[in-house]
Amino acid sequence: MDFDFSPDQRDFAAEVEQYLDDHDDHEVFDVTRENMAQIVDTPKRRAFMKSLGEHGWLGLTWPKQYGGSEGEGVYEFILNEALAGRGGPQIGKGVGIIGKTLIAHGNDFLKEKFLPMILRNEVEFAVGYSEPDAGSDAASMRLKAERTERDGQSGWLLNGQKTWTTSAHFAEWYWLGTRTDPNEKHRGITLMLVPLDQPGIEIRGIWTMGDERTNEVFIENVFVADDYVVGDVGKGFQYISQALDLERFTMFTFSPIKQRLDVLTDYVRTATRDGEPLRNDPVVRQRIARLHTDAEVARVLGLRVVDESVKAEKVPGAPPPSIESSQYKLFATEFSRRLANASMDLGAPGTQLRVRTQDAPMAGRSESTYRYTVIDTIGGGSSEIQKNIIARRGLGLPKNF
């Protein structure tokens, strides 16, 4: 594959950077929020994303019949990486996970209701897969969905609990995995769209070590009409797996990792230890060289996912790349963790000072990065899950090896 962008792609990248310069706002862009910077959780962030929609940039890869531009995925990649590099909200969840799944599998009612709102950024979604006893093994989810009727409508009665639902406290709709068949594991899961502002749904905040809020959600006797079932009953795990392949790439972008590497490199370039420039220490030089080498590997693995995605877009019904997404997610997030460890080590004791402490090494970025990178290796499927996917789907190894 060609790792260089075409002239048109470079022109688009320059256009995006100029647009972000023109709309720069510290309440919208904040690199210190690390991977949580991607969520659209404030009025200003929603307004900014709405402006992207008005600019025609939220449906770059969608079919024209649904309001998109039918562009290649590389343009969406360029846009998302530019947003991520500045600590801005990103397009991954609504446009990618929900929107692309609805385009591929949703009924006409769901497409007509949600796709225009997504393109205009008039709706926010929370994703409900994880449960107290179903984390990385999403197929073990147990939130019960039972057949019922209410007011002449056929549908499902939901009861159960979800956890680690990051956006539940500000989103309007829940992208929810449910157990519709207790006798089947993978084939007993169905996806549904559920409004979050109704009786029977209780949202309780959980504050993470990264100073960000996620949530546990309790659902009691909540009715969902058949119209809000996504795709076929019992095929939810298939749709979730394809959506997770998108999430592993679009929600763990490379730009913030590179930005943190640049912060560390700039610090090493000017810092001293015992009166000697830190950059002259051969051990430090070796460690920095290794980090920059690993960063290039992560960047190229990401570009390979883009290349495979572009190929898949040309085949009707083809799923997003799975093995390549897992390889990127595994390497990039583990590299991000190693980078955080190196920043703490090279900055010495001062790196324990909190973020935005101006007289701390790297203005305190190291300690926040160190806390956040724990999430990176777990969200979207832990590193162990990615290794299993690579082993089984990529190497053809048996499930129990």
User: What pLDDT shows up at residue 241?
Assistant: 84
In a domain, 51, yes or no: yes
The confidence band for 245, taking pLDDT boundaries of 50, 70 and 90, is low
In a domain, 243, yes or no: no
Specify whether 258 is located in the same domain as 384: yes
Q: What is the mean pLDDT of the chain?
A: 92
In a domain, 320, yes or no: yes
Tokens representing 135 are 């984390």
User: What pLDDT shows up at residue 264?
Assistant: 97
pLDDT at residue 401 is higher than 60: no
Q: Which residues contact 61 (CB under 8 A, 6 or more apart)?
A: 68, 69, 70, 71, 72, 73, 75, 76, 100, 313
Rounded CA separation 48/88 (Å): 9
Tokens representing 169 are 């406290």
Specify whether 264 is located in the same domain as 382: yes
Handedness of CA 314, 315, 321, 324 (dihedral sign): negative
**pLDDT tens digit string along 266-291?**
999 999 999 999 999 999 999 999 99
User: What CATH number is attached to the domain comprising 67?
Assistant: 1.10.540.10
Final residue of a domain: which of 205, 234, 263? 234
Tokens representing 121 are 């950024």
Q: How far is CA 200 from the centre of its chain?
A: 28
Rounded CA separation 6/165 (Å): 39
Residue reference for tokens 């169905």 = 190
The confidence band for 1, taking pLDDT boundaries of 50, 70 and 90, is low
Could you give the C-alpha distances from 345 to 60, 188, 265, 367, in angstroms and in order?
Answer: 42, 47, 13, 11
Specify whether 180 is located in the same domain as 273: no
Rounded CA separation 4/6 (Å): 7
Tokens representing 331 are 């390497």
In a domain, 185, yes or no: yes
pLDDT at residue 400 is higher than 70: no
Final residue of a domain: which of 68, 90, 112? 90
User: What pLDDT shows up at residue 134?
Assistant: 83
Q: Residue 210 sits in which domain range?
A: 127-234
Specify whether 182 is located in the same domain as 294: no
Neighbours of 48 (CB within 10 A): 21
Rounded CA separation 241/186 (Å): 10
Rounded CA separation 172/113 (Å): 13
Specify whether 147 is located in the same domain as 229: yes
In a domain, 134, yes or no: yes
**pLDDT tens digit string along 370-398?**
988 888 888 778 889 889 989 998 999 98
User: What pLDDT shows up at residue 381?
Assistant: 81
Using alpha carbons, select from 387, 96, 129, 90 the residue that is nearest to residue 104: 96
**pLDDT tens digit string along 54-99?**
999 999 999 999 999 998 888 999 999 999 999 999 887 889 889 9
Per-residue b/e over 354-378, b at no fewer than 16 CB within 10 Å? ebebeebbbebbbbbbbbbbebbbb
User: What CATH number is attached to the domain comprising 223?
Assistant: 2.40.110.10
Segment 239-255 mean pLDDT: 77
Rounded CA separation 302/47 (Å): 29
**By the 8 A CB rule, do 216 and 206 touch?**
yes
In a domain, 342, yes or no: yes
Segment 38-42 mean pLDDT: 92
308 vs 9: which has the higher pLDDT = 9
Specify whether 269 is located in the same domain as 389: yes
User: What pLDDT shows up at residue 385?
Assistant: 87
In a domain, 95, yes or no: no
**pLDDT tens digit string along 169-224?**
999 999 999 999 999 999 999 999 999 999 999 999 999 887 889 999 999 999 99
Rounded CA separation 305/365 (Å): 29
The confidence band for 246, taking pLDDT boundaries of 50, 70 and 90, is low
- Total number of domains constituting the chain: 3
Final residue of a domain: which of 201, 234, 267? 234
Rounded CA separation 161/216 (Å): 7
Specify whether 227 is located in the same domain as 260: no
